[in-house]
Structure 1
Amino acid sequence: MTIKRWSRDEMAAKVARDIPAGSYVNLGIGMPTLVGNHLSAEREVILHSENGLLGMGPPAAPGDEDPDLINASRVPVTLLPGGAYFHHADSFAMIRGGHLDICVLGAFQVSVAGDLANWHTGAADAIPAVGGAMDLAAGANRVLVMMEHLTKAGESKIVERLSYPVTALACVDVIYTDLAVVDVTPHGLAVREIVEGLAFDELVRMTGVPLSDEGRRAVERWKGVGLKADPQGRASACR
């Protein structure tokens, strides 16, 4: 069977699915910004942007852009009722004070211990850009990472040890790639979901680090007895 990798939008939808209602969430630059397109209007999630926005809405419609109302990617956005914008020093005080429930970040590498590298490859011609990533990785209560599973050279971005400069240590909770959803646990990496057509053993070979299939098999068992799993892997009765 041909492996059809998840698109970036499909990955973003999986992240959005796992964000609980009422969460205060920062969406990082790049791929994570797509998550906002998949958040249900019926399930309130308050979006934060590190340049000083809380209650951020969707991108502004053409012609309605306000140059003073942009996100951290410099994209003109809207402000939802009850939202506010403020000095970025206050914004970083929110981040560093632990007031964000979740941040979604891109990454160059994530280690089996949940260490994150996402600001510099170390290449001589690369321009390092840490932005607010260190603050978010250290300050948010949960860190979700979106990235492609392999580099253009076919090397795994999930590694035993980081080879790129560190953003933060032991901070990542869940990794969403175009091949799998992987939980970072105290006992190692547990695969929760695999793209259709890819065998678990092949995923392990491509990843190059130990992976547990228990999380995925547990979800299948729960489905079989009328139970469902929450994002933390617990079972709850379907109602």
Structure 2
Amino acid sequence: MQFALTVPTLVSDQLPPDREIILHSENGILGMGPMIREGATDPDLINASKAPIGLLAGASISDHAVSFAMMRGGHIDITVLGGFQVSATGDLANWSTGGPDAIPAVGGAMDLVVGAPRLFVMMEHVTHDGQPKIVDRCSYPLTGIGVVHRIYTDLAVIDVQPGGGLLVTGLAEGVPFDTVAALSAAPLVLAAQCRVLC
């Protein structure tokens, strides 16, 4: 089975087993388990990226109306999304690059960014051709204004400060701050207690 892995969908595989964290998928799953990469899968059990997943004990499945009511009604504590661009003030662009041949993919992103009190964006630090995805101002169509609280990239963890500004609180092992700053198109500040991420 072929499916596209997006960085946010990897969260379900990384959760600590001793913590109860209930995952919601916008296609109507509450209590989503890790992705299934080998063996028998149920073609009806997929996450929002169409990857096969399992269900945890007590999971429930709903239609889109109920699922979106959870998102829009403030019943989700943290949203994790991918991104094309994040600005220095926490603006997010993640549904279209605005190009003439781009295929827009709004999905539930606009509902998710306004429905949860905290939004984390997980993405690669630069595009496939090396352009910064962390920018001073987004040039792509916006999903939400001032909605991002934290950015996770393959190089760093960056907190969006209240009122704007980007604080690097974690760096990937072996990646110096100067490299992350050079690959960003918005000013970054290094936190006094910056963690090394293994």
Common fold by TM > 0.5: yes
Equivalent in 207, 210, 231 of residue 187 of structure 2: 210
Structure 2: distance between partners of 1:155 and 1:66: 39
- The residue type paired with residue 113 of structure 2 is A
Query: Displacement of 1:72 after TM fit?
Result: 1.5
Over alpha carbons, which structure has the higher Rg? 1
1:160 aligns with 2:120: no
Deviation of 1:153 (Å): 2.6
Q: Comparing 117-126 with 75-84, which one deviates more in the overlay?
A: 75-84
**Normalising to structure 1: TM-score of the pair?**
0.74
What does the per-residue CA deviation read over 1:177-211, in whole Å, with 9 as the maximum and x for residues that have no partner? 11111000125110101223333234323213211
**2:6 match:** 30
Counterpart of 1:120?
Answer: 96
**Code of the aligned partner of 1:218:** Q
Structure 2 counterparts to residues 113-192 of structure 1, below 5 A: 113-186=89-162, 187-192=164-169
AA partner of residue 46 (structure 1): I
How many angstroms apart in 2 are the aligned matches of 1:149 and 1:79?
31
Deviation (angstroms), 1:219: 4.7
Distance apart, 1:40 and its partner CA: 1.4
Q: Aligned partners of 2:102 and 2:54: how far apart in 1?
A: 33
Greater helix proportion = 1
Aligned match of 2:177: 200
Q: Which of 55, 58, 62 pairs up with 1:82? A: 58
Cα-to-partner distance string for 1:145-194 (whole Å, 9 max, x where unaligned): 11111122322110011100001111111111111110001251101012
Offset, 1:100: 0.5
Q: Structure 1 residues 152, 73: CA separation in 2 closer, same or farther (over 3 Å shift)?
A: closer
3-state SS, counterpart of residue 43 of structure 1:
coil
CA–CA separation in structure 2 for the residues paired with 1:145 and 1:99: 19
**Cα distance in 2, alignment partners of residues 108 and 169 from structure 1:** 14
User: Unmatched 5+ residue regions in structure 2?
Assistant: none
Question: 1: CA distance between counterparts of 2:30 and 2:73?
Answer: 15
**Contact 2:87–2:186, Cα closer than 8 Å, also in 1:** no
Q: State how far apart, in whole Å, the 1-side matches of 2:98 and 2:165 are.
A: 27
CA distance in 2, matches of 1:62, 1:118: 33
Counterparts of 1:179 and 1:219, CA distance in 2: 13
The question of whether the paired residues in 1 share the 8 Å contact of 2:168 and 2:194 is answered with no
What amino acid is aligned across from residue 193 of structure 2 in structure 1?
A
Output the amino acid matched with 1:84.
Answer: S
Residue identity in the other structure for 2:117: N
Counterpart residue number, 1:97: 73
Q: What amino acid sits opposite 1:183 in the alignment?
A: D
Distance 2:7 2:182 in 1: 26
Partner of 1:4: none
* TM-aligned CA deviation for residue 93 of structure 1: 0.3
TM-score by length of 2: 0.88
